[in-house]
Amino acid sequence: MIPTTCDVLVYGATPCGIACAVRIAREGFKVLLLSPHDHIGGMISNGVALLDTQYRGRRAPLLEEFWDQVLDHYRSAYGADSEQYENASTYLTFEPHVGERALTALVEAEPSLTVLTPYHPISVERAERRLYATTFESSSSDEVQRVECQVFVDASYEGDLFALAGVAYRVGRESRAEYDEPHAGKILIGETGVAREHGTRYPREAQSGRLNLWPYGAVSTEVFSGSTGEGDAAVQAYNYRLTLSRDPENRLPIERPARYDRERYLGILLDDAETVDTPYPLKSTWLLRDVTAFEFQSWKKVPNGKAIWNYGQFPGGNHEYPTGDWPARRQIMSEHLDHDLGLLYFLQNDVQVPDEVRERARQWGLSKDEYTDNAGIPWEFYVREARKMVGRYVFTEHDASVAPGLKRAPIHADSIAISEWPLDSHECTLDRTLGSYYDGNFLLTEKTRPAQVPYRTLLPKDLDNMLVPGCLSATHVGIGTLRVEPTWMHIGEATGHAAALALRSGVAPGSISSETLQRRLIEAGIMISFFNDFDMRSDELWAGPIQFFGAKGFFDSYDARPNDPLTESLAKEWARSFAQLVTGTLDPTARAQAVATVPTTSREAVSAAGLMQLVELELSYCGVVDIDPGRDAGDGLASTAAITRGEACSILYQVHRRFAP
């Protein structure tokens, strides 16, 4: 029976939506999770058969639970010494049906979580700054259902629910001038992929061991003339991530699509340097190389010898999708499917394709054991970018780039998650110039740095009981580091905690204290600040406090150095930051810039008692008087023994509880 009321309604059974819904259910609330598709799991169930992450540390419990289930499957089914388990554990790859099964298991384990498919929203009931109810319509019948709840979450790829609620959003690319983003708007870039050929990987800080990320073997460099930076309504290309097999017993043939047009594929037979008039952005030399040498990207080591087809980009064919209704969207999906299958059919059958390529291409077909109720075709295609909410903070290219005066990206006092995937975009239009790739294609692996995701990016400006972790508030360039599924799951689980905290507190999510939320997230194992030194597995007493103060400007780099002694110079800056935090005047990036000026050669050690004296002094400067900040903060505050940076953070974390709302 479909419930007509619940505590939280989550629209979009994407990995982000699932993580959010499961977390809310585990916190003791009734959740309704709705999807416009028959199957749940978003792109993890539909062909993104690897974790798009450069970080191997622990960052969010539900993301780790999902991955542990994937690894458990390959270990139990094939053995810990099997090639399947090695591929999954080493390359973070998995088969789509295994990903769907793991996400489904998370959902089915929660009795207070109800899943409803396939439904999409058609109206909302709103009064001033609150939503009260939403009406959904079945995608397979005329059935409608009205649901009342206290908190609404839009975790979909399209953002239909918040759009119906009248929340501000954008579709397309901002201009370069709007946020002063170097890679915004119309942009023509070249040399993507040269790193793989020359042995260099990016960011170079990661390759050299100074950044705890796995470096990536491709980078965008040269910006070509014609990159005007002009904004437009173009979104990056979509495609089907087809799962292929060359096992004769598990292979379905590639049939000629009804709308097959060989003319659009002839450009792959030309060298990229020969012309700018190829009809379709197939990165021709890459494509032919992968067919002949890499066996359809099987170098990604998907278990059981499968390959993921990610070449069918169709720029322009998707521009009406973000704001289209579902009949229009299904038509666009159908056109993309014919386009993607047509490319495979062309490679396998066209007489102008080199014999060696045709021979190798014919070894592959759709995997029979994937999408078994849909003839081997994914249920969804890759909606990389659709609507983008314009919320209380807009995440831009700058938020994932090194900040002036720091050795890290900007710091946000309300951070609730991290991102680390390179800022990237697939082609947006078919415009190009000689030597460049198609307009909008970039992969900024050298530029991107681990970023903090502000809670404000989830909050509509004029609606208090809705959270938007899917099409969250970001620019076209900024969304590039946020839109990968591990990061979305991380953000989704943090969103679930925010919804639960709001329900317990009796206030709307838009009114909860971000510091109270951060404490809850840290205690629950959610990373809000990236550091090289440790991840969320750490059981050190300083681990949570360093996470907290990592979002308050206490560190100017990604190195926490918790076991280093606390010097007097640093203690003074931390005391000043703490006083500003208490009085609500903190600018975390500015404070980190001040920390960056502290002499690194200083060796004068500070005790707990000395630190507390500095804190009391700074509080008095801010008008906070007649208060003992150390009261109820634990023993040892009067100690004259030198303390470490980690111990100092632990002390200040406890002291801050006296001032927390």
Bridge-based pairing of strands 113-116 and 31-34 is parallel
Length in residues, the chain: 661
Question: Exposure string (b/e) for 207-233, b if CB count within 10 Å is 16 or more?
Answer: beeebbbebbbbbbeeeeeebebebbe
The pLDDT of residue 638: 66
Residue 218 has pLDDT above 80, yes or no: yes
Residue 362 has pLDDT above 60, yes or no: yes
Residue 632 has pLDDT above 60, yes or no: no
> pLDDT tens for residues 486-536?
999 999 999 999 999 999 999 999 999 999 999 999 999 999 999 999 999
Q: Which residue has the higher pLDDT, 122 or 294?
A: 122
356 in Cβ contact with 291 (< 8 Å): no
Confidence of residue 200 (pLDDT cuts 50, 70, 90): confident
The pLDDT of residue 275: 54
Can you read off the two tokens belonging to residue 501? 């905290």
- Alpha-helical regions (H) of 92-175: 96-108, 160-164
Extended strands (E) in 155-221: 169-171
Nearest to 308 by CA among 263, 257, 255, 245: 245
The pLDDT of residue 294: 42
The pLDDT of residue 285: 46
Displacement of CA 252 from its chain's centroid (Å):
33
> pLDDT tens for residues 102-133?
999 999 999 999 999 999 999 999 999 999 99
Residue 270 has pLDDT above 90, yes or no: no
- For the segment(s) 8-168+453-519, the CATH number from 3.10.20.90, 2.60.120.260, 3.40.50.1820, 3.50.50.60 is 3.50.50.60
Mean pLDDT over the full length of the chain: 92
Residue 270: exposed, middle, or buried by beta-carbon count in 10 A (0-12, 13-18, 19+)? middle
Can you read off the two tokens belonging to residue 651? 């002390």
216 in Cβ contact with 54 (< 8 Å): yes
The pLDDT of residue 567: 95
What mean pLDDT is predicted for residues 309-319? 86
Nearest to 466 by CA among 3, 20, 4: 20
- Alpha-helical regions (H) of 584-656: 588-595, 608-621, 645-656
Confidence of residue 636 (pLDDT cuts 50, 70, 90): low
Confidence of residue 276 (pLDDT cuts 50, 70, 90): low
Amino acid at 198: H
Numbered ranges of CATH 3.50.50.60 in the chain: 8-168+453-519
Amino acid at 606: V
9 in Cβ contact with 155 (< 8 Å): no
